[in-house]
A and B are shown apart, each in its own frame.
Chain A
Amino acid sequence: MLLSVENLRVSYDKIKALHGISFQIDEGEIVCIIGANGAGKSTTLRAISRLVPVEAGTKMTYLGRDLLTYPADKVVSELGISHVPEGRRLFDNLTVMENLRLATFARRDRRAIAQDLDRVFSIFPRVKERLNQKAGTLSGGEQQMLAVGRAFMSGRKIMLLDEPSMGLAPLLMMSVFDSLKEINQEGTTILLVEQNARMALQFAGRGYVLENGRLVLEGGSEALLANPQVKRAYLGG
């Protein structure tokens, strides 16, 4: 088991966002969490990345190490858990190259950095064409590619992806997911949260359904796609 989340509870002020959810991910897997807007999907990823405080009783371990003892930047730089945030959150005022370089801030392995950079360019050739442009001038699709590329550079044991399909035309979306599959096949474990349940379940090996801060269903992707409850609520009948 690579990542284990047990009884994850998060509150914003007085409002409970997550009521103690538990799940595990094995090395090399692609796992998705589907759910409606506001179900707590982003909060789940943000808790793993240590961007939001968790409540007492929560246990999160990564390769047996207690995730809660790591601050947000060390989760990335020491554990290799990268995070493509909702809405991409690129640094629009930096160039494409600076966005990629910033992601290697804490890395010392120059040769590996150069190799990873080449890999990003071969997966996303369009990112390479835009290196000296400000990230804010990229199209939506290019921005998502850069966001994934940036996460790839920062650490890539696990990649947490928050709605990578958002705002992308279907063809572009497919191409981004194809690239993610490639990245996964090279050894990066992927945890994906999506509102686009069909896309997510076709991409992932198995999934969880999150409703109002609780995991209500889990199973293999095919089983979930066939599940009448999932069909009705998330797949449009």
Chain B
Amino acid sequence: MTFFFQNLVNALQWGSFYALVAVGYSMVYSILMLFNFAHGDIFMVGAYIGFGVSTALIALASSGAVVMPNWLILVLTILFSMFLTSFVGMIVERVGYRPLRDAPRASAAITGLMIGIILQTSTLALLGARRISFPSLIETTTYNVGGVFVTNKKIMIVLVSLLLALALHQFVRRTKWGMAMRAMAFDYATVPLMGVPLNTMVAVTFAIGSALAAAAGILFGVAYPVLDPYMGILIGWKAFVAAILGGRGSVMGATLAGFLLGFTEIFVVMIFPSTLRDLIAYSIILLILTFRPHGFFGEPYSARLRL
């Protein structure tokens, strides 16, 4: 039983990364009918920006100019990096996707793949092939809860992810911006008639998705402190699966599906050799999608909307 709960704890942390990245996928997909395949690489860029920001803050703190405890450096790193990465998302949209807004969806999807490659290779060109280790900002404290080992990092990662997902959920449900996003998900073409500036809405959506991806990247760096330019690819693909599984435009759906993916992977390894992890885990997900092709939740959309 403790073995089970231990895996549950690990799965919660693992699912957090998928959940945060999946939410951004889902938002963009719902308002633009666009798979932003560069999103996993924005997660990677976010992690690198987090590395840069935290290194700078540590240097600032150790120079004695300002007194900052490490936890504050981490909080500031997350906030600054989310802010900076949101601009990366907006630039990607402005340069990569907006010119293709009315192009066939396949072209836009391919654009996403290319932007992803550009982000990977420019990170590589800029920083070289060496792996970078994310600065350790908080000491790991391990708690033994009835034989199950829980670390302060794991608790923080899960809580921050849930908090961000919940905040976004409230944003989409309660604010006029969220209302406009839901309206775009249903019938994109009619939204300008409400006096809503489409381009601004799209930019805001990319900004939010990218900020969350950056948060995921930093949390990932806290848990697994080795960064490399290709770290976003697999996580991006899997988060994409979670976004579809969660249902179009559903923040809670994408979050739940992200955690479900985490659980499936970890629990497969409980039973089978870890080399079979993704083979078995994603066969299960495929089976679920066969029975629920529209995912768990998801906004309905107008029959007029091209898909």
Contacts and interface: CB of A to CB of B under 8 A. Distances in A.
Contact of B195 (A51, A89, A94, A105): A105
A223 B179 CA distance: 47
Contacts of A101: 176, 179
Nearest to B189: A51
Nearest to A151: B193
A114 interface: no
A98 B195 CA distance: 14
A163 B116 CA distance: 46
Interface stretch (B91-99, B118-126, B180-188, B222-230): B180-188
B196 interface: yes
B180 A85 contact: no
Given A51-B189, A93-B185, A94-B186, A103 B179 contact: no
A102 B194 contact: yes
A77 B195 contact: yes
Interface in B292-307: 299-302, 304
B192 interface: yes
Given A91-B186, A91-B187, A85 B176 contact: no
Contacts of A85: 190, 193
A76 interface: yes
Contacts of B180: 102, 105
Contacts of B182: 91, 93-94
A91 B195 contact: no
Contact of A76 (B186, B194, B301): B194
Interface in A99-131: 101-107
B171 to A, nearest CB: 15
Nearest to A155: B195
A127 to B, nearest CB: 16
A73 B192 contact: yes
Chain A interface bracket (under 10, 10 to 19, 20 to 34, 35 or more): 20 to 34
A27 interface: no
Nearest to A77: B195
Contact of A102 (B176, B300, B304): B176
Chain B interface bracket (under 10, 10 to 19, 20 to 34, 35 or more): 20 to 34
Nearest to A134: B300
B147 interface: no
Nearest to A160: B193
A144 interface: no
B137 to A, nearest CB: 41
B186 A154 contact: no
A176 B297 CA distance: 36
A73 B183 contact: no
B280 interface: no
A155 B299 CA distance: 28
B285 interface: no
Interface string A77-94: 100001101000101111
Contact of B196 (A73, A83, A93): A73
Contact of B193 (A83, A92, A94, A98): A83
B198 interface: yes
Nearest to B193: A83
A73 B190 contact: no
Contacts of A136: 300
Looking at A51, A73, A103, A107, which has the most chain B CB atoms within 10 Å of its CB?
Answer: A73
B186 A92 contact: yes
Contacts of A151: 193
B186 to A, nearest CB: 5
Contacts of B187: 89, 91
Contacts of A107: 195
Contacts of A83: 193
Nearest to A107: B195
B125 to A, nearest CB: 37
B128 interface: no
23 contacts: A51-B192, A73-B195, A73-B196, A73-B198, A74-B197, A76-B193, A76-B195, A89-B304, A92-B302, A93-B182, A93-B185, A93-B299, A94-B182, A94-B186, A98-B179, A102-B179, A105-B176, A106-B196, A107-B195, A136-B300, A151-B193, A154-B193, A154-B195
Interface of B: 176, 179-180, 182-183, 185-187, 189-190, 192-198, 299-302, 304
